[in-house]
Amino acid sequence: MTHSRFARTAGWLALPCLVAAGLLAWYVTRDPASPFEAEQAARFDPALVSRGEYVARLSDCVACHSLPGGKPFAGGLEMATPLGAIHATNVTPDRDTGIGHYSLADFDRAVRHGVAPGGRRLYPAMPYPSYAKLSDDDVRALYAFFMKGVQPAQQANLASDIPWPLNMRWPIALWNGLFAANTPYAAKPDQDAQWNRGAYIVQGPGHCGSCHTPRGLAFNEKALDESGKPFLAGALLDGWYAPSLRADHNTGLGRWSEAEIVQFLKTGRNRHAVVYGSMTEAFNNSTQFMSDDDLAAIGRYLKSLPGDPQRDGTPWQYQAESVAAKLDNPGAHTYVTRCASCHGLDGKGQAEWMPPLAGATSALAKESASAINITLNGSQRIVAAGLPDAYRMPAFREQLSDREIAEVLSFVRGAWGNHGGAVGAQAVGTLRGHTDPASSSPIVLHMR
Amino acid sequence: MELRINQKTYEVEADADTPLLWVIRDDLGLTGTKYGCGLAQCGACSVLVDGSVVRACVTPVAGVVGREVTTIEAIEADSVGKRVVAAWVEHQVAQCGYCQSGQVMAATALLKHTPNPSDAQIDAAMVNLCRCGTYNAIHAAVHDLAAQQEGA
Ligand code: FES
Ligand code: FES
């Protein structure tokens, strides 16, 4: 009697559990709907392919899916994640090792929803939470480009280093449900066409937030559009501080005009800054190829994002400083002998060629990672319109000790009105270890 | 663009971001100024711009338009420069000589701004590299000059 009641109760309990498990299994392995389900991508006219090429530039696909010296889009880039390294895949139209067998709907599900054929979830290192906002037209064009504009390359994908059970992919579906957008960008009717175009590029293909928006506990971007205050508010990632792209006076674009944003994205430099760190790649491979109209739209949209004076701190103002009178300060001494030739005794740099350190984000942000990283490792080559840059920040890793770098950066971050705060030798030592290509735990600097 | 170098006016055609060093050496043939590293690390390319020392390899030429550039070729036309060269000869500073035009520039700029520099000021200003290791001779020469009175 008791036994059978127990069995009956257990049965009643088990049923909803089974149903829930079934629903869960369905949810995490299901193929999301694609508007292209019934579409046979029969014709790839050249105009569509070249438009797709432009969308690929906007989206900077090449940054991850190509390796320098490798076949375009054959994959291979190693990306460090907290769980282990993963590798970008072959997205050439090769049928065996690439995506040659993908239908338009398959392609759409991978790009906008992070789901490969068979329901396998992609890691969100692929910025599909942003690409979800791509328009149907752009996805169709992108597909045409990858099928007809890219040479098939036979190159097998590399397995990830993530160990079992962490390498199970289904929980990503739950993460997607919580954090990823799942509808294309919808134009805001109260804004004009230029603003909306800028918003589309920034939030969607440009995936600016992947680096510039701070992330939450689940490594999710805290906001995916301008409705959230953390959107593009600046974030620490891969040993660099990606500054705010909002109108923050110190750490953002508050002092930049729309035209200066355009100039920066088109030529890699303006009177405030020169691209460095991970932005060098975004510039070399993506932003310089954007049309003037699109860059203007980006400038317009970014300048519409308000700053947050509370987060940003006291607005920076230039203050003259006699470096020569401070030579007993070891940081000032190092500055005069190592830095001043380019950045100037007055900290103002040289026009748009050598960036000013007075008022620089890296000298005003409390995160000192960018200042340390660029000093240790120098800048990568900037190639604008096919021409390599004339001037580059050299690496001081071999020339200056942790203490010397800490001293000179503390000086810079306190001179000319800068108020980023002192840098400790320990922070320099940590980043030195992480960014040393010979170390066993390097930060792979090319994450997105 | 129009450049003023050693009291002469030159008309040069160059991109705005061309390093001043290339213009001086390749376009104008003033090869006394040397190329060492191209990265602001060695000082071999030092010249004076409005009396202050700059490293010509990291000076975009557009930045010196309308300013007065002095290279080693004309350094003795400057009274301080003349004294520096005399001290260099007296101390027999140069060994191979490759770095020395830059060293003379650095010393001249220092003494123009600070006629009687302290040892600390000398150390902070005389940071150009010398592969031959003439640092002691350089220091002795500048030390001598620092003790002299202008015009002495
Ligand atoms: S060549 Fe200019 S500093 Fe070395
Ligand atoms: S004298 Fe030879 S490098 Fe200085």
Interchain CB contacts (distance < 8 Å): A and B: 38
Q: Which residue of B has its CA nearest to A394?
A: B39
pLDDT at A113 over 70: yes
pLDDT at B152 over 70: no
- What pLDDT is stored for residue A1 in this prediction? 46
CB of B101 closer than 6 angstroms to any ligand 2 atom: no
CB of B132 closer than 6 angstroms to any ligand 2 atom: yes
Asked if B14 has any chain A CB less than 8 Å from its own CB, the reply is no
Asked if B147 has any chain A CB less than 8 Å from its own CB, the reply is no
User: Using CB atoms, which residue from B18, B58, B60 is nearest to A351?
Assistant: B60
Average pLDDT over chain A reads 90
Measure the CA–CA gap between B49 and B71, rounded to whole angstroms. 9
A355 — pLDDT class (breaks 50, 70, 90): very high
Restricting to B residues 39-98, those with a Cβ less than 8 Å away from any Cβ of A are: 39-41, 54-55, 58-60, 62-63
pLDDT at B150 over 60: no
pLDDT (tens digit, 9 = 90+) per residue, A306-321? 999 999 999 999 999 8
pLDDT at A4 over 70: no
A350 — pLDDT class (breaks 50, 70, 90): very high
- What pLDDT is stored for residue B102 in this prediction? 98
pLDDT (tens digit, 9 = 90+) per residue, A224-252? 999 999 999 999 988 999 999 999 999 99
Lowest mean pLDDT across A111-125, A143-157, A169-183, B102-116: A169-183
A175 Cβ partners below 8 Å, 6+ apart?
A124, A218, A220
B77 Cα to chain A: minimum distance (Å): 25
The predicted model scores a pTM of: 0.91
Helix axes B79-90, B100-113, angle to 10 degrees: 130
pLDDT at B91 over 70: yes
| Chain B residues with CB-CB distance to A353 below 8 A | 17, 60, 63
Torsion of CA B118, B124, B126, B127, to 10 degrees: 160
Interface contact flag, B17 A333, Cβ < 8 Å: no
| Chain B residues with CB-CB distance to A351 below 8 A | 60, 62-63
| Pair A197, A304: CB distance under 8 Å | no
| Chain A residues with CB-CB distance to B124 below 8 A | 327, 333, 336-337
| Chain A residues with CB-CB distance to B63 below 8 A | 350-351, 353
Atom of ligand 1 nearest to the CA of B41: 3
Q: Which residue of B has its CA nearest to A342?
A: B58
Higher pLDDT, A217 or A261: A261
Average pLDDT over chain B reads 95
Mind listing the domains of chain A with CATH numbers? 26-184 (1.10.760), 312-434 (1.10.760.10)
Measure the CA–CA gap between A300 and A198, rounded to whole angstroms. 7
> Considering every ligand atom, which ligand is closest to the CA of B130?
2
Alpha carbon A232 to chain centroid distance?
Answer: 11
A178 — pLDDT class (breaks 50, 70, 90): confident
**What mean pLDDT do residues A118-123 have?**
89
Candidates B21, B35, B58, partner chain A, best to mutate (most A CBs within 10 A): B58
Measure the CA–CA gap between A420 and A414, rounded to whole angstroms. 7
Helix axes A402-412, A425-434, angle to 10 degrees: 120
pLDDT (tens digit, 9 = 90+) per residue, A363-407? 999 999 999 999 999 998 899 998 889 999 999 999 999 999 999
- What pLDDT is stored for residue A446 in this prediction? 34
A161 — pLDDT class (breaks 50, 70, 90): confident
pLDDT (tens digit, 9 = 90+) per residue, A35-90? 888 776 556 899 999 999 999 999 999 989 998 888 999 998 888 777 788 899 99
User: Using CB atoms, which residue from B41, B55, B60 is nearest to A353?
Assistant: B60
**What mean pLDDT do residues B23-36 have?**
97
Lowest mean pLDDT across A115-129, A153-167, A262-276, B88-102: A153-167
The complex's ipTM works out to: 0.90
A321 Cβ partners below 8 Å, 6+ apart?
A346, A347, A415, A416
Token couple for A242? 């990606």
Mind listing the domains of chain B with CATH numbers? 2-73 (3.10.20.30), 75-147 (1.10.150.120)
Lowest mean pLDDT across A31-35, A97-101, A419-423: A31-35
For residue B8, how far is its CA from the centre of ligand 1 (angstroms)?
A: 24
Atom of ligand 2 nearest to the CA of B131: 3
B142 — pLDDT class (breaks 50, 70, 90): very high
Measure the CA–CA gap between A202 and A215, rounded to whole angstroms. 17
- What pLDDT is stored for residue A444 in this prediction? 42
Candidates B1, B15, B17, partner chain A, best to mutate (most A CBs within 10 A): B17
| Chain A residues with CB-CB distance to B110 below 8 A | none
A350 Cα to chain B: minimum distance (Å): 7
B110 — pLDDT class (breaks 50, 70, 90): very high
- What pLDDT is stored for residue A439 in this prediction? 57
**What mean pLDDT do residues A164-186 have?**
84
Strands (E), A167-320: 235-237, 240-242
Q: Helices (DSSP H) in B51-99: which residue ranges?
A: 79-90
pLDDT at A110 over 90: yes
Interface contact flag, B58 A337, Cβ < 8 Å: no
A342 Cα to chain B: minimum distance (Å): 6
pLDDT at A118 over 70: yes
CB of B99 closer than 6 angstroms to any ligand 2 atom: yes
